[in-house]
Amino acid sequence: MDAVLPLDHMTTEEKLRAMDALWADLSRNADTYESPAWHRDVLRERDRRITEGREPSANWEEAKRRLRERLL
């Protein structure tokens, strides 16, 4: 099934809510998905940069709040 969203007609807030709903649904079964190798590599590199103090980090709720402030 191909889901089609009217992205051209959705506000940024509507798009963010749709992403939140998709993420919540996917997260319920996260243990059934296998991340691709490139994703593991990206996470390891970011973790290394954070450990070295070269990249700031934020928890997910804080990151979403900041994105919403910038986009809305």
Is the predicted pLDDT of residue 72 greater than 80, yes or no? no
CA distance 17 to 26: 14
Check residue 56 and give its pLDDT.
82
Check residue 57 and give its pLDDT.
80
Is the pTM above the cut of 0.95? no
Structure tokens given for 72: 């809305």
Check residue 3 and give its pLDDT.
84
CA distance 25 to 71: 23
The mean per-residue pLDDT over the stretch 23-48 comes to: 92
Check residue 10 and give its pLDDT.
96
